[in-house]
Amino acid sequence: MLKQVLAPIHPDGWRFIAIAVAVAVVLFFLWTPLGWLGLLAAAWCAYFFRDPWRVTPLREGLVVAPADGLVVSVAPAVPPAELEMGDAMMTRIGIFLNVLDVHVNRMPMSGRVVKLAYHPGKFFNASLDKASTENERMAIRIATRAGGDIAVVQIAGLIARRIVCAATAGQEVVAGQRFGLIRFGSRTDLYLPLGWASLVIPGQRVIGGETVVADAHSQEPPRRGIAH
């Protein structure tokens, strides 16, 4: 029951929470209303760095969302050059995370981390497609047992200035496993072989580690959505 009610805090967030609490204490001495605002900021930090429990569906070929957020694009694109995956088009699923979303990233599939590559860049609004190619990013290439390599890319946004990645080259990973986070608004892109069926559409919200976004073995045609 506690797992459903109390979300753990990501280790990277404790220092921010501690700083916010310390500032709130000082503000209470200066002026009580400011102190309450400081406590509100500390509570928001705790909320931002929450790391809720997730139940990951497991089956060979399933791809789960690497992050919470809004699907902003599902379209062909060339994977990041630094991952050395060639110039052939892949299906790119772009997920935008606003400041209220859970920012912990999770592995989309089980496999082995082949390569990691950091690329310095700009800080455009992460909801824009140009953020995928021009913003600061950490790209991860994963060899899967489903018949092809995939890539997951952590992308800094307009406010985000810090990408945290705990994955290492050669590491064996499992679907839904935590591997990092991006602080204060960001984007996470997923690159999949073109033949894999995408099961999400732009405008759809997904849950990291739980929502199935693609299936390597399905022959289902591309989905369309209707706004209600």
Q: Which residues are catalytic?
A: 186
Question: By three-state DSSP, how is residue 29 classified?
Answer: helix
Question: By three-state DSSP, how is residue 139 classified?
Answer: strand
Three-class SS of 67-117: CCEEEEEEEEECCCHHHCCCCCCEEEEEEEECCCCCCEEECCCCEEEEEEE
What six digits make up the tokens of 19?
Answer: 């700083």
CA gap 188, 70 in Å, rounded? 10
Give Cα separations from 204 to 44, 83, 103, 120, 198 (angstroms).
25, 28, 17, 29, 13
